[in-house]
Amino acid sequence: MSDTPMFDSLPVLTHEAVMAMLENGAAKATEIGQPQCLVIVDASGETIGSLRMSGAKYLSMRSARTKARTAASNRVATGGMDESFAHKIASATGNSVTNLPGGLPVMIDGRLAGAVGVGSGTGEQDIAVGTAMLEAVGADSV
């Protein structure tokens, strides 16, 4: 008997999946008329794909990356924290955690594969684009 716990292997987002997610997200952003910054991270929060669409706010790349990393770390969509806690955790992590809407975990069969972060629009627009990105790989609904 081993003292080392065994973990199920996590699903992996391939480069083909990342490209499909970026394409779907950009198509949705174009459809709604809002250029966006799109970021995809793996389960550890490392960036594996990103795109700043023409006309998207350049600083939104930072918020999109933070949204994706927060969603991967917490395994839940961003935007749902209690505001008083959100400010404290942002401060405690040097703004590495955010409560802005637009970060969604990529869950495949209930297991974390990574996360997406979208920024440059309203929270509702960011979520719509992020949802389109998840649909590209058949990820579980958030």
pLDDT in tens, 27-63: 999 999 999 999 999 999 999 999 999 999 999 999 9
- Is 141 within a domain? no
The CATH number of whichever domain residue 90 belongs to comes to 3.30.450.150
Per-residue confidence band for 142, with pLDDT thresholds at 50, 70 and 90:
confident
What CA–CA distance (Å, rounded) separates 36 from 6? Answer: 39
- What tokens appear for 9 in the block? 């292997």
- Is 67 within a domain? yes
Domain extent for 34 = 15-135
Q: What is the pLDDT of residue 141?
A: 78
Supply the mean pLDDT for the chain: 93
Mean pLDDT computed over 79-99: 91
Number of domains in the chain: 1
Per-residue confidence band for 8, with pLDDT thresholds at 50, 70 and 90:
low
What CA–CA distance (Å, rounded) separates 141 from 118? Answer: 17
What CA–CA distance (Å, rounded) separates 140 from 142? Answer: 6
- Is 79 within a domain? yes
- Is 8 within a domain? no
- Is 126 within a domain? yes
pTM listed for this prediction: 0.92
- Is 1 within a domain? no
Mean pLDDT computed over 73-80: 96
Q: How many residues does the chain have?
A: 142
Half-sphere exposure of 138 toward its Cβ, with a 13 Å CA cutoff? 2
- Is 4 within a domain? no
Dihedral of alpha carbons 120, 123, 125, 128, sign: positive
- Is 56 within a domain? yes
Helices (H), the chain: 15-32, 60-74, 83-92, 123-135
The count of other CB atoms within 10 Å of the CB of residue 91 is 10
Measuring CA to CA, which residue among 77, 68, 71 is closest to residue 36?
A: 68
What CA–CA distance (Å, rounded) separates 16 from 129? Answer: 19
DSSP 107: E
